[in-house]
């Protein structure tokens, strides 16, 4: 990216039949086909904004620019309006803060007092209570305990039939929500999980779609979910003892994690309403479940449908389970996260099933490859195009479009004894992709703060199921339970917005081994 004020060429416009209508319509209703038309850099108009879609490493690297030029905040204020249901006045408080997310304010913005540096303070909460090693571990420990309880409660030593995606949408979501937001939220709102998944389905439409008066349905779902998170906020503030020992506890039933408690406290102290705090809870629910449940489900589907892979994964994860001093079988987390095959499958599934258009607002005129990109334009970079790029990911016999469990393994020759020439080949996890070829968690300062927890949560959930159950594939089914004649594919309704769930469910038979 270089500043060259004399050149004035604009990137090509994406062809369309009806100017300003056809591209927008396809973008909003059929993102999968829209993405197939993108290569290099092309422009179109979306909801009166000039948008440029970029694909390919040469163009994508421009989005890695500093946040005062490649600003992620505009996308977040859009989410504040459309997802959080925040008032215009309170969104303005964020918009008026032009000091950035870094500790050192943007040049010329040093006069903004620290307590009004909302982007920075908000970012700090993520860094300290969500991304840090300490709180990632706390969240993961709570999740593991709660998910193990769900698995025990929902299964037996007799063979039973289960629809895998449905099972994960209910039970993994419950364990994740309780870990993050406590148990009261679900006691107060027994319908919350079902409502959340309805919201998940319209989350993308809400962001870029039609206004409420033309398309009321997505807003009605959002409002229903918002009233549930509001109930939780009110109840937690009425009942939680801010002078008691739980104030710094890793978990409590009212707010849940330390992260959720500190966010609630910060919003109040910074003068934001409970409506905003509840909207934030709703947005975090989306961050928490919208990607992790589809990814864990896809991992299990890939493993279960291939008996050879199943037995390899079983013998690998078996190594991470130990009998503790009470005679209980427990997972050794450190050992689990060092296992190569499960890590390779995790990365492969992220590659194939996360489709997110990383979005940045250009804060001053820039030049990309000789094209002028004007201040105020939006740049979008679809992860799906980079993740399916044959040049970056293809291997002989294993095209980028096909799942290959071993894609991220490298073979290493190890000596079996220090004085011996005898050796053996062992696979190692090896992730060599550049940031421009693999970015399921976005880029830079706005990169997903939940990514460390997500990895733990997903791998633990998959390992718990593979180790604990004998599992047999039965058939593929449609949403209504009828048998499908094909396996699951990405549900393209979700392209561009988050994890793409399977469009078919997998019916399995399972029984507990322990």
Residue ranges that bind ligand HEM, judged by CB under 6 A: 72, 76, 284, 287-288, 291-292, 295, 354, 356, 358, 440-443, 446-451, 453-454
Closest separation in Å from C-beta 356 to ligand HEM: 4
Q: Please state, in angstroms and rounded to a whole number, the distance separating the CA atoms of residues 366 and 69.
A: 9
Name residue 509's beta-bridge partners. Answer: 161, 472
Give phi and psi for 8, each to the nearest 5.
-130, 5
Instruction: Please identify, using beta-carbon distances, which residue of 38 and 454 lies nearer to ligand HEM.
Output: 454
Closest-CA residue to 346 (of 456, 436, 210, 237):
456
CA angle 439, 441, 446 (to 5 degrees): 110
Decide: residue 125, CB within 10 A, 0-12 exposed, 13-18 middle, 19+ buried. Answer: middle
Instruction: Please identify, using beta-carbon distances, which residue of 363 and 507 lies nearer to ligand HEM.
Output: 363
Instruction: Please identify, using beta-carbon distances, which residue of 438 and 443 lies nearer to ligand HEM.
Output: 443
Closest separation in Å from C-beta 54 to ligand HEM: 14
Instruction: Please identify, using beta-carbon distances, which residue of 232 and 295 lies nearer to ligand HEM.
Output: 295
20 annotated ligand-binding residue = no
Closest separation in Å from C-beta 408 to ligand HEM: 16
Instruction: Please identify, using beta-carbon distances, which residue of 155 and 454 lies nearer to ligand HEM.
Output: 454
Name residue 331's beta-bridge partners. Answer: 321
Between the CA of residue 444 and those of 436, 448, 493, what are the distances in Å?
12, 9, 27
Closest-CA residue to 441 (of 454, 432, 429, 430):
454
Closest separation in Å from C-beta 15 to ligand HEM: 28
Closest separation in Å from C-beta 508 to ligand HEM: 22
First and final C-alpha spacing in the chain: 57
Closest-CA residue to 479 (of 89, 169, 84):
169
Instruction: Please identify, using beta-carbon distances, which residue of 199 and 441 lies nearer to ligand HEM.
Output: 441
Q: Name the pairing type of β-strands 378-382 and 354-362.
A: antiparallel
Rg of the chain over CA atoms, in angstroms? Answer: 24
Q: Please state, in angstroms and rounded to a whole number, the distance separating the CA atoms of residues 279 and 267.
A: 11
Instruction: Please identify, using beta-carbon distances, which residue of 189 and 292 lies nearer to ligand HEM.
Output: 292
Question: What DSSP line would sit under 54-84, residue for residue?
Answer: E-SHHHHGGGGS-TTTEE-HHHHHHHHHHTS
Annotated binding-site members for heme: 448
Annotated binding-site members: 448
């Amino acid at each position: 990216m270089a500043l060259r004020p004399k050149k004035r060429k604009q990137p090509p416009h994406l062809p369309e039949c009806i100017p300003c209508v056809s591209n927008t319509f396809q973008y909003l209703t059929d993102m999968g086909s829209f993405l197939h038309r993108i290569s290099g850099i092309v422009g179109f108009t979306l909801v009166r904004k000039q948008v440029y879609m970029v694909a390919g490493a040469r163009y994508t690297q421009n989005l890695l620019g500093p946040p005062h030029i490649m600003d992620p905040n505009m996308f977040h204020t859009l989410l504040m309006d459309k997802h959080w249901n925040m008032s215009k006045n309170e969104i303005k408080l964020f918009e008026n803060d032009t000091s950035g997310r870094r500790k050192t304010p943007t040049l010329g913005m040093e006069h903004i007092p620290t307590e009004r540096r909302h982007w920075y303070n908000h970012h700090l909460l993520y860094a300290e209570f969500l991304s840090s090693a300490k709180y990632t571990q706390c969240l993961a420990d709570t999740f593991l305990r709660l998910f193990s309880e769900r698995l025990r409660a929902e299964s037996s030593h007799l063979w039973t039939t289960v629809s895998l995606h449905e099972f994960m949408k209910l039970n993994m979501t419950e364990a994740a929500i309780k870990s993050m937001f406590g148990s009261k939220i679900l006691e107060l709102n027994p319908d919350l999980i079902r409502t959340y998944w309805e919201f998940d389905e319209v989350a993308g439409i809400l962001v870029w779609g039609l206004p409420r008066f033309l398309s009321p349905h997505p807003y009605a779902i959002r409002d229903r979910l918002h009233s549930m998170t509001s109930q939780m906020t009110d109840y937690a503030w009425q009942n939680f003892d801010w002078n008691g020992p739980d104030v710094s506890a890793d978990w409590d039933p009212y707010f849940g994690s330390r992260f959720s408690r500190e966010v609630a406290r910060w919003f109040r102290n910074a003068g934001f309403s409970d409506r905003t705090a509840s909207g934030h809870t709703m947005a975090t629910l989306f961050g928490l479940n919208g990607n992790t449940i589809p990814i864990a489900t896809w991992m299990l589907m890939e493993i279960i449908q291939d008996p050879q892979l199943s037995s390899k994964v079983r013998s690998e994860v078996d190594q991470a389970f130990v009998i503790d001093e009470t005679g209980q079988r427990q997972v050794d987390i450190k050992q689990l996260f060092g296992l190569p095959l499960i890590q390779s499958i995790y990365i492969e599934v992220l590659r194939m099933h996360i489709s997110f258009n990383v979005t940045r607002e250009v804060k001053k005129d820039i030049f990309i490859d000789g094209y002028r990109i004007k201040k105020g334009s939006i740049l979008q970079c679809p992860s799906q195009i980079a993740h399916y790029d044959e040049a970056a990911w293809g291997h002989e016999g294993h095209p980028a479009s096909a799942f290959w469990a071993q894609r991220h393994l490298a073979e290493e020759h190890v000596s079996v004894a220090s004085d011996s020439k005898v050796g053996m080949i062992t696979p190692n996890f090896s992730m060599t992709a550049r940031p421009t070829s693999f970015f399921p968690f976005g880029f830079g300062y706005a990169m997903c703060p939940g990514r460390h927890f997500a990895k733990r949560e997903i791998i633990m959930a998959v390992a718990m199921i593979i180790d604990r159950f004998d599992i047999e594939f039965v058939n593929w089914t449609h949403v209504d339970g009828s048998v499908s004649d094909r396996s699951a594919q990405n549900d393209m309704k979700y392209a561009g917005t988050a994890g793409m769930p399977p469009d078919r469910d997998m019916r399995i038979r399972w029984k507990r081994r322990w």
